[in-house]
Amino acid sequence: MAKSKLAFVCTECGADFVKWQGQCHLCGSWDSIKEFKTPAKGSRTSSAIKSGYAGSASTIQPLSDIPLQQQQRFSTGIGEFDRVLGGGFVSGEVVLLAGSPGSGKSTALLSVVANYVQAGNAALYVSGEESLIQIAERATRLGVKDVGIRMLNETCLESILDLSAQDKASLIVIDSIQCIYSSEVDSAPGNVSQVRECAALLAQYAKTTQTIVIIIGHVTKDATLAGPMTLSHIVDATIMLYASEDERFRIMRATKNRFGAVNELGLFAMTEKGMLEVNNPSAMFLSRPERPVSGSVICPVWEGTRPLLVEIQSLVVEAAFNPRRLAVGIDPNRLAMLLAVLNRHAGIQISDMDVFTNVVGGIKIAETSADLSVLISIISSLRDIIIPQDVVAFGEVGLSGEIRPIANAEQRIKDAFKHGIKRAIIPQANKARTRIKEGEIFGVGHISDVMEIILGFKE
């Protein structure tokens, strides 16, 4: 009889080692390598899982002989969720939905399963954390208790897959991966080896049976995906669900998607009856005060496949002690670089000032198109110049003070003008290629040109 073998796995990144060592050379963490037992050959495996993704035996095929097929999409019934997924679910897709406790993961997926069942499909909701009574109470609040959702309260993965195959469910929700265990792995549920093995078996089942599998995952205290790094490699799509600063809204973002765009954004409002999609997300982030103030600028950022208007605020005050540089929603290193450019090429010295920059609404901007808006907001706060509320600005700022062009400029301007914006400060190179005639567009090629426009706003 085969015996189980020992393995040494990093609990931070999931890397395997042949023996124990103090530091993981892949992720750099110390004292994270633990000893685990790997399953012996011939261990119990679910009868629903075949030996490979292609069936009982794999064959070699020329790439030119593989026919192209249009992927059939299954709508979630929620427009913003479909946008994040790239148009809906795909047969055999494995989706990982992660978020902090209370962000609405179970609530959102219960509504998705209800819409899927009402469309005439078979779905199974597997709960390992909550009792079925708790889920029934939530379903009653959402108004989906009697639509025909099939429930299962089980934590053994082999039993889940066998019952799912018998039920012929074409969509399975696993709530959550940290509570599920495989009998082939000799460790507790939620362990690195358990999470990795269960995710691999779920992915294998999804590919061989063309079943849609949605996995709910936990996050760490710093809002990153919990579990081994291999978990995000196994699934087809990784979706993160965040709560806004005031807890009224939920932000859904795809960090990985094999069947759609990455970094696509979906916005929802949390209500007593569940998560409702926000049809006009720009209006959500543009709740500006009636009385204009200095240090505030609107910037159209590009999120996934659409523009989104956000407000960037800056506060520049005299430092009481050591000057501070604090950035919320943008890269702090980029803020430091922009302040150096402002000092060198605009003659504005703020080395003895505190600078605070914030993106309103909890949005994190990763692209460089917000550089110009950040600089304008800093100058506006420093000189106490009120930027009119009908002005937007975007553009990348180079180290020599030049304003570089960015992608999708025309779409950004069009979306801004739809929301009442009348003037736009953009890179000169983008203005030359823009065919928009309505509104007023200022083209700038250097930071000195920006200063002239801003000073013109001061009464």
Encode pLDDT of 369-378 as tens digits: 999 999 999 9
- pLDDT, residue 10, reads 76
**Dihedral angle over CA of 333, 339, 340, 342, nearest 10:** 150
- pLDDT, residue 126, reads 96
pLDDT digits (tens, 9 = 90+) for 39-51: 554 455 666 665 5
State the pLDDT confidence band at 304, using cuts at 50, 70 and 90: confident
State the pLDDT confidence band at 1, using cuts at 50, 70 and 90: very low
- pLDDT, residue 351, reads 86
User: Exposed, middle or buried: residue 391 (CB in 10 Å: 0-12, 13-18, 19+)?
Assistant: buried
pLDDT for 193 beyond 90: no
pTM of the complete model: 0.80
State the pLDDT confidence band at 441, using cuts at 50, 70 and 90: very high
Report the mean per-residue pLDDT for the chain. Answer: 87
Span of 231-235, 360-364, 421-425 with lowest mean pLDDT: 360-364
State the pLDDT confidence band at 38, using cuts at 50, 70 and 90: low
86-102 b/e (C-beta count within 10 Å ≥ 16 → b): bbbbbbbbbbbbbbbee
Preceding amide of 103 cis, omega within 30: no
182-197 b/e (C-beta count within 10 Å ≥ 16 → b): bebbbbebbbbbbbbb
- pLDDT, residue 222, reads 72
State the pLDDT confidence band at 24, using cuts at 50, 70 and 90: confident
Helix residue ranges, H only, 328-427:
332-346, 371-383, 409-418
Instruction: Please state the separation of Cα 289 from the chain's center in Å.
Output: 29
State the pLDDT confidence band at 313, using cuts at 50, 70 and 90: very high
Q: Which two tokens stand for residue 276?
A: 């409702």
In this structure, is the dihedral angle defined by the CA atoms of residues 176, 135, 255 and 209, taken in order, positive or negative? positive
pLDDT for 264 beyond 90: no
Span of 99-113, 164-178, 274-288, 357-371 with lowest mean pLDDT: 274-288
Which among 163, 150, 152 is positioned nearest to 130, based on CA atoms? 152
In angstroms, rounded to a whole number, what is the distance separating the alpha carbons of residues 257 and 245?
Answer: 26
Span of 56-60, 289-293, 346-350, 368-372 with lowest mean pLDDT: 56-60
Residue 13 CB-half CA count within 13 A: 12
Q: Which residue has the tokens 């393995």?
A: 7
pLDDT digits (tens, 9 = 90+) for 402-414: 999 999 999 999 9
Do the beta carbons of residue 39 and residue 30 sit within 8 Å? no
Which among 405, 411, 338, 416 is positioned nearest to 377, based on CA atoms? 338
pLDDT for 2 beyond 70: no
Which among 388, 427, 380 is positioned nearest to 408, based on CA atoms? 427
Strand order from edge to edge, sheet including 353-359: 325-328, 353-359, 306-318, 296-303, 391-393, 423-427, 440-444
Mean pLDDT computed over 259-273: 85
